[in-house]
Amino acid sequence: SPPEASRDFCIRIGAARYVVRIEPEVDSAESGVVRIGGRALPYAFDAPLGARPGAALRGDTDPVIRCHMPGLLVRLAVREGDEVKPGDLLAVLEAMKMQNEIRAKRKGRVRKVHGAPGATFEAGMPLVTLDPL
């Protein structure tokens, strides 16, 4: 389903980075405004529920947890078959001398772990695949 409340995302288009805010209408989660780079753009969903971009942005329907920045996998906190709930630690990724915790956003069972400590990841690469519970 589409976002229920305003959500901010940081996206990169080429070398530029933008903060994007999705603001659904109060009385209709089917439409609203997307704010990017100082512009307000109206939106309306016209795809089936499972294909809605808002759901994919939140990671609610995508079973793959992806790396949000390039980095080195320094710790893996789950194994295939483990059950996780929202907020559980999945992995720790080191980027620019900072350790970033990657946490589950929803309940699931770990289907696949896409690397081991010491592996280097690029932004967008899969880290963990979850099956919904």
* Per-residue model confidence as pLDDT tens digits over 59-100: 455 688 888 888 999 999 999 999 999 999 999 999 888 999
Length of the chain: 133
Q: How much is the average pLDDT of 2-6?
A: 51
Task: Indicate if the pLDDT at residue 14 is higher than 50.
Answer: yes
Cα separation, 120 vs 62, whole angstroms: 22
Confidence of residue 29 (pLDDT cuts 50, 70, 90): low
Instruction: Supply the pLDDT for residue 43.
Output: 74
Query: Is 3 a residue whose pLDDT tops 60?
Result: no
CB-based contact 125:107 (threshold 8 Å): no
Mean pLDDT over each residue of the chain, to the nearest integer: 79
What integer pLDDT is reported at residue 124 of this predicted model?
Answer: 82
Taking residue 79's Cβ as centre, other Cβ atoms within 10 Å add up to 8
CB-CB contact of 114 with 63 (8 Å): no
Q: How far apart are CA 19 and CA 15, in angstroms?
A: 14
